[in-house]
C-alpha cells in the first residue's frame, strides 16, 4: 500500500470526556478522513495505560496492581514460571495464533472509547474515512513509570524491558488487526513523551540503540498487519533517532518546537526521500488555541517550512508527505477547548488541501 497523506488531519488520542458519544461526535466531525478512537482518562484509573495495554501482564501475574500502583512482581516465588507462560503466549501470538493474540486485547472495562469507536463503525460504516487510527503509550514512557519489586525502574532492567516491549508489540498488532476489519488502512501511533530523556545527563544509560530497537519492534508488529507505524513526541528531541528508525510517520509539536527539526535536517531529508511522513502538530493544546485562527497557524507552519526550504528540503515534498494534528492529546483540557482545537485542526487541514 502507498500512504498518501494529502495534508489530512487526525488526532493524538486522549480527549476530556467521560462519555464516548461526545468524543466520537467531535472526532467524526473534525477529523472525518482519519478518525481515531478516543482515550478517556477522565473516566478513571482503569482507562490508564496499565489496564489498556498491559492487562496480559496483570493476568499472568507478572505485574501486580496495589492501591492503583503497578509493579513487576519479581520477588514472586514462581516468577520464572510466570515469565515462561508469558513468552509462550507471545510466541504463539507472533506466529499468528489468533487466540493467543486476543490475550493482548484491551479489556472492555478499560477502553470505553475504543469499543464505542468499533461499534460506531459497525453500525454507521466508515463514511468519508480514508484511514483509521489507533494509539497507545510507548515503551520508554511506560517503562519509566513502572518499577520492579525492589523499586528499580523497569526500563533499566533488560529482562523487564524485553517483557514490556513484547507485550506492547503484541497489543499494537492486536489493535491494528481489529481496526483493519473495516477494509481501510490502519495508522498506529505510540506516544513517547519520555523520549526527551535521551541525551540528558540524568539518563546517560539510555542509548540510541535501545530506543531504536524498541521502536522497530513495535513498528514490525504494526507492519505485520499491514498498518503504518508512527510515533508522537511533544518535546524538542533528537529527531534523527526517529528518522533513522522503521517508522512511516513522525508526529511533533511544531507549534512549540518546530525549529527543533533544524539540527537534524539531513536525516529529515533522508526520511522524506524514502517516503516518510511528518505529522505536524500545529494546533496548540492550550488556551492559546482561543487566540489562534487557521490563518495564523498556517503562517506559523509556513515559517517552519521556509526554514527547511532554505536548507534544501523540497517544500512540495514536505506538503505532499504531510499530516496535520493537534500538538498533543486533549485529555486534561476543558471540553470547550478541545472542541476549539479539533475545529482549528480541521480548518488548517482543509486550507492546505485546497491550496
Instruction: Quick: pLDDT tens for 9-37.
Output: 999 999 999 999 999 999 999 999 999 99
The confidence score (pLDDT) of residue 204 equals 65
Q: Counting beta carbons within 10 angstroms of the beta carbon of residue 78, is it exposed (0 to 12), middle (13 to 18) or buried (19 or more)?
A: exposed
Q: How far apart are CA 311 and CA 218, in angstroms?
A: 32
Q: How far apart are CA 288 and CA 300, in angstroms?
A: 13
Closest listed residue to residue 322, CA positions, set 263, 286, 282: 282
pLDDT averaged over every residue in the chain: 94
Q: How many other β-carbons are positioned within 10 Å of the β-carbon of residue 320?
A: 14
Chain center to CA of 236: 17
C-alpha count within 13 angstroms, C-beta hemisphere, residue 284: 14
Residue 57 corresponds to which cell in the numbers above? Answer: 501482564
The confidence score (pLDDT) of residue 47 equals 87
Residue 32 corresponds to which cell in the numbers above? Answer: 472525518
CA distances from 27 to 162, 200, 262 (A): 35, 37, 32
- Straight-line distance from the first to the last Cα atom of the chain, in angstroms, rounded to the nearest whole number: 26
Q: How far apart are CA 10 and CA 31, in angstroms?
A: 6
Q: What is the pTM of this model?
A: 0.95
Q: What is the mean pLDDT of residues 104-123?
A: 95
The pLDDT tens digits of the residues spanning 45-88 come to 888 876 788 989 999 999 998 887 889 999 999 999 999 999 99
The confidence score (pLDDT) of residue 4 equals 85
The pLDDT tens digits of the residues spanning 252-262 come to 999 999 999 99
Kindly indicate the confidence band of residue 1, based on its pLDDT and cuts at 50, 70 and 90: low
The pLDDT tens digits of the residues spanning 206-259 come to 899 999 999 999 999 999 999 999 999 999 999 999 999 999 999 999 999 999
Give the CATH class of 20-354.
alpha beta
Amino acid at each position: 500500500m502507498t500512504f498518501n497523506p494529502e495534508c489530512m488531519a487526525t488526532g493524538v488520542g486522549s480527549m476530556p470526556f467521560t462519555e464516548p458519544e461526545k468524543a466520537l461526535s467531535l472526532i467524526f466531525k473534525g477529523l472525518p478522513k482519519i478518525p481515531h478512537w478516543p482515550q478517556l482518562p477522565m473516566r478513571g484509573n482503569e482507562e490508564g495505560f496499565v489496564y489498556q495495554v498491559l492487562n496480559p501482564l496483570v493476568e499472568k501475574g507478572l505485574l501486580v496492581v496495589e492501591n492503583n500502583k503497578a509493579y513487576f512482581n519479581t520477588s514472586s516465588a514462581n516468577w520464572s514460571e510466570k515469565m515462561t507462560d508469558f513468552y509462550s503466549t507471545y510466541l504463539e501470538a507472533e506466529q499468528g495464533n489468533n487466540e493467543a493474540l486476543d490475550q493482548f486485547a484491551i479489556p472492555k472495562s478499560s477502553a470505553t472509547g475504543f469499543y464505542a469507536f468499533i461499534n460506531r463503525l459497525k453500525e454507521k460504516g466508515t463514511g468519508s474515512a480514508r484511514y483509521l487510527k489507533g494509539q497507545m503509550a510507548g515503551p520508554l514512557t511506560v517503562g519509566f513509570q513502572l518499577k520492579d519489586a525492589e523499586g528499580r525502574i523497569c526500563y533499566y532492567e533488560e529482562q523487564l524491558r524485553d517483557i514490556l516491549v513484547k507485550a506492547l508489540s503484541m497489543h499494537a498488532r492486536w489493535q491494528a488487526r481489529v481496526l483493519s476489519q473495516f477494509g481501510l488502512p490502519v495508522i498506529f501511533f505510540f506516544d513517547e513523551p519520555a523520549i526527551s530523556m535521551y541525551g540528558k545527563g540524568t539518563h546517560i544509560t539510555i542509548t540510541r540503540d535501545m530506543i531504536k530497537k524498541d521502536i522497530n519492534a513495535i513498528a514490525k508488529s504494526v507492519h505485520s498487519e499491514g498498518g503504518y507505524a508512527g510515533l508522537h513526541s511533544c518535546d524538542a528531541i533528537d529527531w534523527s533517532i526517529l528518522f533513522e528508525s522503521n517508522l512511516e510517520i513522525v508526529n511533533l509539536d511544531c507549534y512549540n518546537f518546530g525549529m527543533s527539526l533544524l539540527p537534524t535536517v539531513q536525516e529529515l531529508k533522508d526520511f522524506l526521500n524514502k517516503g516518510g511522513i511528518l505529522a505536524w502538530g500545529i494546533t496548540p493544546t492550550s488556551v492559546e488555541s482561543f487566540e489562534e485562527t487557521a490563518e495564523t497557524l498556517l503562517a506559523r507552519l509556513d515559517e517552519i517550512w521556509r526554514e527547511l526550504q532554505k536548507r534544501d528540503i523540497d517544500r512540495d515534498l514536505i506538503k505532499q508527505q504531510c499530516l496535520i494534528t493537534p500538538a498533543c492529546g486533549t485529555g486534561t483540557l476543558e471540553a470547550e477547548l478541545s472542541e476549539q482545537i479539533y475545529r482549528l485542526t480541521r480548518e488548517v487541514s482543509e486550507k492546505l488541501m485546497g491550496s
